[in-house]
Structure formats: structure tokens, C-alpha cells
Structure 1
Amino acid sequence: ARVYEAFLGEEGARALMHGPTYTGNPLACAAANASLDLFETEPRLEQVKAISRQLTEELEPARSLPGVKDVRVKGAIGVIELERIGDLNAMKRRFVEEGVWIRPFGNIVYTTPPLVIEAADLARLTGAMLKVTAESSR
């Protein structure tokens, strides 16, 4: 009751504005069900394993770069963690110049590619991650 009362009122600033997020939005549910259907009809788990192997292999060289704190892969997520990123906006621009959309934040550079990504396209992402990370550590 105390939490409910905290958000009850006519003022918009008081309302919890996450209704569509937490109310079982019909479009989101339909998209989720379609995604689950794809897991039954397409080799999604094998795709994740292949992406994971490629990310692990291709991001590993980043460990030897100055300023790199950690390199990790979990499923289809690849991360290069830095001690710090000096100019975040400059790094974002460098990724765009490399022709990839990678959005570093905080002190990490990461990718979460679609499960249907081709190996060559993933190599382009990981190559840009290594190149731009190396440049920023100079």
C-alpha cells in the first residue's frame, strides 16, 4: 500500500511511467512468442555457440593491449573492459568511421550481435573493436 500510494496522484511527475513495460504489451508479447517459435524451428543455440567461439577467439588479442582490464564472452555477448575510456564520444565516432555501430559506455566496449550474423560480419565488428581499442590505449 505504501508503494502504491507513493505513485498515486493526478500529477504526471508522480506517476510510475513504465506501464507499457510491465503490463504485458500485446505487441511485445507477440514478438516474444515469434522469437520463441524461431528457437524451435531454427538452430539458434548452435548459432550462439558459433558466435561465442568466434568472439572468444577474435577478442582474445585485446588482453595484451595497454589499458585493457578484462575480455569476456558470455553466449553472444563480447566485452572488452578498459581501465578507463578517455573520450567516449571520440571512440564512438571512430567506430562509425570504421563502418560499424558499436556504442561503448562507461569503461566497456561490447557487442551483442544478432544470432543470424554471418562470420565475416562478426569479424568486422571484432576487428573494429580491437583496432579502436588499441588506438584509444595509445
Structure 2
Amino acid sequence: MLLHQPSIVKEIYDIAHDNNILFIADEVATGFTRTGRMFACDEVGIVPDIMVIGKALTGGFCTLSATLAVPEVYNAFLSDNINDAFMHGPTFMGNPLACAAANASLDLFEMEDIIRKVAIIENQLNSELDIFKQLNYVVDIRVKGATGIIELENNLINKNHIIKKGIESNIWIRPLGNVIYIMPPFIINTNELSQLVQSIYLILKHNI
């Protein structure tokens, strides 16, 4: 789980457009303020040709994702002629329950200052994740918006064991290779986040 500099992403975007290559942004995890902006692309200052969104689109209550496209891309397969249309799997699209959940989630983004909540989470993660520097096998600590990343030395994590210890502490941990990450819901309060960080720290301290 790496954090790329906006200038690097912008350079890739420019190269793609200079060579008539579509730029596709996967904002499934990063979209809807997870990185501190409504979309990660906003920080770079780009509009991707295609954007994929999900996760916070429904707040996790129902499975729903969406693919967005700029008019030039969308109009290329917009047609009343079935032979020209892009038949992209209508079996599960437009589920009314999932769409209702998405509309409710989008309403919250309009009514509440979610970006401010993310900034509070980011500040707390920046402060409290410092405790992991006491563990000599921690390689790096990264924070972006409401995401905290703890990178360990390779081949140290017994994934199933860490998951088990997390469940015993009433938390869900899903290591990704040598990375432990924290992506709390935006409604988490400061005490809950502190408890989460402390629990993960103790699990790593006593089980690595």
C-alpha cells in the first residue's frame, strides 16, 4: 500500500493523454474523502477518462460499485442500436436496495462536513501511530487522510495468527503482505480510534 506523489500521478496522466491512452482511476478505496479530498484525483488536479468507485458509495451496507466516464468515452458506446451498445453485464446492475443505500450515503456527504472528520482522523493517526516506531521491525509508517499504514519487515507476519489475535481483541485486522493498515469508518470517535491503535500495537508487540 504505497502513497504516490501527486506530481508523479500527473506525469503519468500527461503521458497517457499525449499518447491517446485512456487514463483509468481506481477510486474504489480512495474515493469519497478517504484521502482527505473528495477523490484522490482532486489532489492531483486531473479528470480521469474512466473512474471506478465503490465502498463508501454505500457506506458498506450494500454491494454496489459504479464506473464513471467522460462524455467522449461514454458517447462512444451510447446507442439505441444493440449492435453498437456496450453490453457490460446488466444482470446485477441497478439493484434498488443498493441504489437507495448509495443515495442515502451521498446525502450524508452533502449534509455533513466529512472532509473535516477525515482531517481529525488523519491528525490523530499521525500522532498515535508514532508508538509503532518503538518496534524495531517496523520499517515505515504512512498516513494519508483516514488511512494509516504500518509496514513491517518482510516475512514476519503470520496472517492467520494476527487475524485470530485481532478477533480476540474485538477488532478486525486483515494484513496485506507485510503491511497492517487502519481504514476506520468516518464516524469513529477519538476514544475508539485510540483503542484500535493501542490494540494493534499490543498484538504486534507480543506476537511478532
Q: Answer yes or no: same fold by TM over 0.5.
A: yes
The change in CA–CA distance for 1:111 and 1:86 in structure 2 (over 3 A counts) is closer
CA contact (8 A) 2:147 2:182 kept: yes
Could you give the per-residue CA deviations for residues 40-59 of structure 1, whole angstroms, max 9, x where no partner exists?
Answer: 21121111011111111111
1:130 maps to 201
Question: Shift in Å at residue 88 of structure 1?
Answer: 1.3
The reply on whether 1:121 has 2:195 as its aligned counterpart is no
Structure 2 counterpart of 1:9: none
Pair 1:21–1:76, CA change in 2 (3 A): farther
C-alpha RMSD of the superposition? 2.3
The residue number in structure 1 matching 2:24 is: none
Distance 1:134 1:21 in 2: 47
When residues 22 and 64 of structure 1 are mapped into structure 2, their CA distance, relative to the original with a 3 A threshold, is: farther
How many residues were matched structurally? Answer: 120
**Unpaired stretches in structure 1, ≥5 consecutive residues:** 1-17
Rounded to whole Å, the distance in 1 between the matches of 2:163 and 2:186 is: 23
Do residues 76 (structure 1) and 146 (structure 2) align? Answer: yes
Give the deviation of 1:136 after TM superposition.
3.3
Corresponding residue for residue 8 of structure 2? none
Q: Determine the C-alpha separation between the residues in 2 that align with 1:76 and 1:21.
A: 34
SS of 1:106's equivalent in the other structure is: coil
Distance apart, 1:32 and its partner CA: 2.8
Equivalent residue letter for 1:31: A
Specify the SS of the correspondent of 1:104.
Answer: coil
Q: What aligned pairs does 1:1-138 form with structure 2 within 5 A after superposition?
A: 19=89, 23=93, 25-84=95-154, 85-137=156-208
In structure 2, what residue type is equivalent to 1:110? Y
Residue type of the partner of 1:114? P
Change (3 A) 1:96 1:27: same
More contact order relative to length (CA 8 Å, sep ≥ 6): 1
Task: Give yes or no for contact 2:159–2:174 (8 Å, CA) kept in 1.
Answer: no
Uncovered stretches (5+) of structure 2, i.e. residues with no partner: 1-87
Structure 1 distance, partners of 2:152, 2:183, is 18
1:25 shift after superposition: 4.8
TM-score by length of 2: 0.51
TM-score by length of 1: 0.74
Q: 1:108 to 1:20 in 2, by over 3 A?
A: farther
More helix by share: 1
Give the fraction of aligned pairs with identical amino acids, expressed as a percent.
Answer: 46
Note the alpha carbon deviations across 1:51-93, whole angstroms, 9 max, x for none: 1111111111212312111111111111111113331111111
